[in-house]
Amino acid sequence: MALNVTDLEVSKTFYQTWFGMTTVWEPDAENVYMSSGVDNLALHQIPKENRPAFQRSQGQFLDHLGFVMDSPESVDQLYERVVNAGVEIIHHPKQHRDGSYSFYLADPDRIVIQILYEPTISPIRFSTET
């Protein structure tokens, strides 16, 4: 996933704090490449002169992105932490008809992120071994 952001340092700190992303490469002051070990995220600073073109009046093309959690309890634990820190909550935790459990929050640029426990994919672990 690659995101354009209005404040690279603020967004970098957000993804480090809440999703354990670490910087794997920061080639310059406008780009940072991060990883959780299984997920990769690139953040690209929107140049100041181009920011007005990125301001939304309504809606957005990206509906949301998501991070998979290993249990409903881990979803609740993260929810409590982000609420206590004042992170904007879009939708509170909810049990879904398919057995999944999630909530939605907003990053510093109001990109919506789903925090999801999904019983069929949450147990899957990345491995290079066959």
- 68 and 44 in a single domain? The answer is no
Residue 79 resides in a domain: yes
CATH code, domain with 6:
3.10.180.10
- What averages of pLDDT result for each successive group of 10 residues across the chain (130 residues)? 92 95 94 89 88 66 85 96 97 94 95 92 64
Residue 43 lies in a domain: yes
Query: According to the model, what pLDDT value does residue 36 have?
Result: 86
* Residue 1 lies inside a defined structural domain of this protein: yes
Q: Give the residue numbers spanning the domain of 20.
A: 1-49
Same-domain status, 39 and 68: no
The pLDDT, as a whole number, for residue 61 is 63
Per-residue pLDDT, 8: 95
pLDDT at 121: 82
Report the DSSP pairing between strands 112-117 and 40-45.
unpaired
pLDDT at 50: 80
Q: Rounded to whole angstroms, how far apart are CA atoms 76 and 92?
A: 10
pLDDT for residue 46: 86
Report pLDDT for 125: 66
Rg (CA), the chain: 16
The pLDDT, as a whole number, for residue 37 is 82
Number of domains making up the chain? 2
**Do 87 and 45 belong to one domain?**
no
Does residue 79 share a domain with residue 29?
no
